[in-house]
A and B are shown apart, each in its own frame.
Chain A
Amino acid sequence: MERSKTFHRKKIVTIFLVCLLIFCGLAVRVVYLMVFQSEHYTQMAQELHQRERKIKAKRGRILDCNGNVLADNRTVCTISVIHNQIREPERVIEVLCRELGLSEETVRKRVEKVSSIEKIKSNVDKAIGDAIRAYKLEGVKVDEDYKRYYPYQELASKVLGFTGADNQGILALESYYEEYLQGEPGIILEMTDARGVELTEAGEDRVEPVSGDDLVLSMDMNIQQYATQLAVQVMKAKEAQSVSILVMRPDSGEILAMVDVPEYNLNDPFTLSDAMLQAWEEKAAEEESAAAEEKEADEGQETAARAMTEEEKQDLLNRMWRNACINDTYEPGSAFKIITASAALEEGVVTESDTFSCPGFIVVDDRKIRCAKVQGHGSETFVEGTMNSCNPVFITVGQRLGVDRYYDYFEQFGLKQKTGIDLPGEAGTIMHKKEDMGPVELATVSFGQSFQITPIQLATTVSSLINGGKRVTPHFGIKTVSEAGEVTKAFDWSAQKEILSEDTSRRLRAILFQVVENGGGKNGKVEGYSVGGKTATSETLPRGTGKYISSFLGFAPAEDPKVLALCIIRVPKGIYYGGQIAAPVVRQLFENILPYLEEKEEQKQEGTGQ
């Protein structure tokens, strides 16, 4: 029997010591992983284990200047399924189909899809959501969130805009003030096993959503409502294509109302309004008759009332959502004589008492440009020429300024830039290039033709000219207010640079007062108030179709304007003179809102006085 020798023992001890060394090394490695790398791996593991569910933030409301809620939130439900937690797929499919009114195919596809969480439908009525919850189906989640709701349906639809499926602002103010309104979504983090089954004992982490801020507008709902009524009335009476009414404060640029009928239902923005459907049918009928003519030549082609394509529907929806006050340009016509007059008075090329002679036409280069009054106005002062809206007078004044000076004023008045209104998609001015402006172009521009601007541009520029000469920025947004009622942001719309001297501005107001008091705008006169204004009638392009745009721009009081209104009636039937159909609309509006605004002003003063 061999005994162990000393070297055997030594070697055994060596082995132990080597093991000890390696074990220590491993212990160090474990300490490194579990202490120094712990945070890193814990975080990565958590990302793996947690499933995120977003909680929509409550979107900020939109309020008018009196605190009326124009855009609100309603509680709705989002229905989703968690594939791995479903116990009875057939029953789930059957219930969801029935309650949500979806096709079995759609629901089945989503229920059977292997994903951690699958949304079935959002914006479901709370009642339906509660009903589904009552079934207590395993794997079906009913989450409450908010949906935009517009209590006044069509009111100011083109100004407010609407929100999409995820409550994101899509159009107009909802889109422009998205960052203030949207808030921050919250998150529900729940732990799951590798198959996606929720671990109930692990609980859930919630990051609460932060509500968006309320947006307070300069818009006055009462004025907006009344202006809408007037616009609808005149559109019906004149069978017009559309009617826009803009009401703003010339001194600050605050917009009190912006109407562009036909409007659409904000709570159902993806359904074509009756007006749009009617327009579509008319167009289809035209196409049909055109096709019928072709049919004579090409027999056998059936082109009966065809269905609307997806593209055509989208096109019509875009037209329905368009706000003609800012998205479309038009030829302003005679109302633009205000601008020509301002430039000429400022430059001193004309005075109120300068006399002109109108034979009913004027020859520029080799072109004969007619006055609206074919037999001519005869001899008249500049003020009378403005009251008569006499084209030869303004062409002459334009010629006195010359292309260079006229163009400089055009730019100085801010007409070549956008107004900077707080609505997306403002259209730019379409104007001749300076080098392309010949005598004929200068002549036509002088009385508001051959170029195009937006209605908001006209209203803003005139506001700036009559308010003492400060260029204002038209706007709706006044401030944002947090859910707790604190003002989080007050928007600064302070006036930009001087574009006209005070003196010229005062003289301009006096002339425009005469236009309404004794001239072509006398239908805009309001008992007890001094109103200034200018009428306009322009033929649409292409010329010769007998389609006109009639408009009237008025402001009151004439000596110290507190409010300015612009009414544009597109393609009226019958009488189409702005002075006869648009001026009465502004008159009715003023008759109503001038006392109202005065009263409000008094209340405000009393309020601050106390």
Chain B
Amino acid sequence: MAGRRDRAKTEHYFDYSLLFIILFLVCFGLVMIYSASSYNANVEMKNEMYFLIHQGGAALAGIVAMFVVSMIPYHFWERFAVLGYFTSIVLIALVLTPLGVEVNGARRWLNLGISVQPAEIAKLAMILFLASMICKIGRNVRSLKGFVLILGAAGVVCVMVWKITDNMSSAIIIFGIAFLMLFVASPDYKRFIAIGAIGVAGAALVVFVVSQAASTEGMNFRFVRVLAWLNPEKYSSGTGFQTLQGLYAIGSGGIFGKGLGRSIQKLGYLPEEQNDMIFAVICEELGLFGAIAVILIFLLMIWRFMVIANNAPDLFGALLVVGVMGHIAIQVILNIAVVTNTIPNTGISLPFISYGGTSVLFLLIEMGLVMSVARRIQLKDV
């Protein structure tokens, strides 16, 4: 099974491009967090380095963890797949206990000495669990039963994340990861296209119904967000406030931006400036060029994932990389779409750049996994 000790015989691959991209994003993220948060951190905490130090610590731990994980053959983790799956379920449930921590009205964190977000752990656990499970059921994945089984296993966690931690964004991401992994594992297209079509049609229907509503009174906040998405200036003082402030930041950046550190919107106007809305600050300070550069870097990263997944020595490794790829891609797309008001507002952070210790730590562990898979690629003529 695992542990092929034939390093001496074959030359192994190390994806330096990916490593460079990761390190660049982490460092760029730290610079942007410092830029976005220092003014308010100074006003509120009298310490302009507050967010930088916290994020920097997590990033450092993450990079160490990434290298450690990349050294360990990835099949080592297969035995923990089921354990990880159930652990993440337990952790999510623990949010309901007194260990749960509420921040800004949302109960999403656990206080385990350091505060962690179970949803972030669940994403990693899900990738590992599904990769292992798909490999185990083998060809059964092609049957409807296997299809339902895999989506069901992911669905349970999604519903828990959504309902218990009231975090729909993370639920969507976990579901998306499962969907993409299953898509790769199964030779079928029709099923997936059908699910995608149903999803798009459903979303369009919701938007249509909500936009026809006469009054927002008593309406679920998610529906109000849809209205604010359609017309942020009308809801500028309430639901549309964050979106509109983000648009101000993006629009006022122009082509070349105001220059690093020169954002005005971060001075208390833009909420979540070092968090979900950090892309808006990037736009304002670095302009269109900075924004496009960030998008390109992420695209490059996903391209590297594709290359690694396609050259992975086995399906398990490939699926691991596909899961990570799905995770990053979905999160980047949703975050930029939200910030540019392309879709209704929902809280999603920008991987590696947004402030969030658990997020960056687990993202880097995922990167370690991908690098571990990459190391197993044998540079031989195929």
Contacts and interface: CB of A to CB of B under 8 A. Distances in A.
A26 to B, nearest CB: 5
B300 to A, nearest CB: 11
A2 B135 contact: yes
Interface in A23-61: 23, 25-27, 29-31, 33-35, 37-42, 44-46, 48-49
A44 B295 contact: no
A4 B251 contact: no
B138 A23 contact: no
Contact of B254 (A23, A38, A48, A194): A38
A19 B318 contact: no
Contacts of B283: 30, 33-34
A37 B43 CA distance: 32
Given A1-B314, A9-B310, A26-B333, A194 B267 contact: yes
A23 B299 contact: yes
Given A1-B314, A26-B337, A199-B267, A33 B255 contact: no
Nearest to B267: A193
Contacts of A135: none
A39 B135 CA distance: 54
Q: Specify which of A8, A22, A199 lies most central, judged by the most chain B CB atoms within 10 Å of its CB.
A: A8
Interface in B309-343: 309-310, 312-316, 318, 322, 325-326, 329, 333, 336-337, 340, 342
Interface stretch (A10-18, A541-549, A560-568): A10-18
B264 interface: yes
Contacts of A40: 251
A468 to B, nearest CB: 68
Nearest to A31: B288
A453 interface: no
B311 to A, nearest CB: 9
A12 B295 contact: no
A48 B187 CA distance: 54
A45 B291 contact: no
Nearest to B321: A12
Contacts of B329: 15, 19
Interface in B279-305: 283, 287-288, 291-292, 295, 298-299, 302-303
A442 B191 CA distance: 108
Contacts of B135: 2
A3 interface: yes
A19 B309 contact: no
Nearest to B289: A34
A206 B279 CA distance: 32
Contact of B252 (A1, A25, A45): A45
A49 B288 contact: no
B192 to A, nearest CB: 9
B249 interface: yes
B265 interface: yes
A35 B247 contact: no
Contact of B325 (A15, A41, A44, A48): A15
Q: Specify which of A15, A35, A202 lies most central, judged by the most chain B CB atoms within 10 Å of its CB.
A: A15
Nearest to A17: B306
A35 B340 contact: no
A440 B51 CA distance: 98
Main secondary structure of the interface of B (DSSP, over half): helix
A30 B337 CA distance: 9
B183 interface: yes
A37 to B, nearest CB: 5
Contact of B302 (A3, A7, A16): A16
Interface string B168-185: 000000000000100111
Contact of A13 (B253, B268, B310, B336): B310
Interface string B236-280: 000000000001111111110000000011011100000000000
A393 to B, nearest CB: 81
A499 B314 CA distance: 114
Contacts of A191: 264
Interface in A181-209: 191, 193-195, 199, 202
Nearest to A3: B314
Nearest to B310: A9
B50 interface: no
B315 A48 contact: no
Nearest to A13: B306
B39 interface: yes
A471 to B, nearest CB: 59
Nearest to A191: B264
B114 interface: no
A16 B269 contact: no
Interface of A: 1-5, 7-9, 11-13, 15-16, 19-20, 22-23, 25-27, 29-31, 33-35, 37-42, 44-46, 48-49, 191, 193-195, 199, 202
27 contacts: A1-B314, A4-B318, A7-B187, A12-B309, A16-B306, A19-B302, A19-B333, A23-B298, A26-B295, A26-B337, A30-B283, A30-B288, A30-B292, A31-B288, A33-B247, A33-B251, A34-B283, A34-B291, A35-B255, A38-B252, A41-B247, A41-B251, A41-B252, A42-B252, A44-B251, A45-B252, A199-B264
